[in-house]
Structure 1
Amino acid sequence: MGRKILILTEGLSSPHSAKTACSVIRYRRDEVVGVLDTTVPPQPAQALLEVGGDLPVVNSLDALPEANVLIIGIAPSGGSLPAPMRALVLGAIKRGMDVESGLHEFLNDDVELAAAAKASGSVLRDLRHNNERDVARRQNISA
C-alpha cells in the first residue's frame, strides 16, 4: 500500500502558518489525500492555502479513512506540538497511521504518544532527529 498522506494544520491553515503543508502539497501532491483542520468547514485546499486546487480540507480523521500517514504541516514558534493538535495526533496513532513531524520537540520523546504508537504499530518519524554531527566549517576559503 502506498503512502496516503493527510496533512494536519489544525487552526493554522494559511499559507504563512502552514508552510510545511504547502510544500508537501506542491512537491508530493500525488501522495496527499487531504488536509485536516477541525476549525474550518470542509472546502478545497486552494481556498485556505493557495495551493492544492480541489484537494479536500476535512474536519475529521473519519473523512479520509484511506489516509495512512499524518504529517504535521506547520512549524510553530518554539517547535512544540500545539495543544489543539495533540488529540488529533493521538487519534491518528490509535488508528495505526504513521506520523511524521519536523518539530524541534520529538514525538518519540513524548511518553504517551510513543506508547500509543507501540500499541498500534504506527511509526513516529521525527524528521529533525538524525545522527549527523559534522558541521560545515569555513576552511581554505579566502575572504
Structure 2
Amino acid sequence: MNQNDTIHINCQINGMPFQLSVPPGMPLSELLREQGLLSVKQGCCVGECGACTVLVDGTPIDSCLYLACWASGKEIRTVEGESKNGQLSAVQQAYVHSGAVQCGFCTPGLIMATTALLAKPRERPFTITEIRRGLAGNLCRCTGYQMIVNTVKACEKQK
C-alpha cells in the first residue's frame, strides 16, 4: 500500500451512517475534525492529554492514537452527538452548572470520559479514587480537578 491509497470504511458517527475513504495512517481525530466535529481537540497528538477523547463503541479512546481505518463497523460518539433536539445531555448540563468548565479546551474529552464512566453498571456510588481513575488521561490545567470530581458525583446522584 502506498501513500496515495485509501481505505474505505463504514461507521456511525453520532448516530449517522458514514461511508468514507481515508488514508491508512490518518488519525480518527483528524477525520472527525474534517467532518466538522470540532469538539475533538488536537492537543498533544500523542495520547497524553485526553482532549481528543471520543467514545468508540462506548469505550473512551484518545482519537489521536486511534487510526480512522480502525473505525470501520464502529459507533463513534463525540460531544456534538450528546445533545438531543438542542438540549444538552445531563453530563453537559452538569459541567456547565458546576463551574467545571473554565477555558473549555479539555471539557469535551472530560464529558466523553464522564459519560463512559457513568454508563458502567454500579451497585454503589463511585469513590473519589474511582472517579479520578475513570478520568485519568484527561488533563485539565485550569480547574484543579475537584470541581470535575464534584460534577461526576452530582451526575451520579441524578441517575
TM bin (shorter chain): under 0.3
TM-score, normalized by length of structure 1? Answer: 0.27
TM-score, normalized by length of structure 2? Answer: 0.25
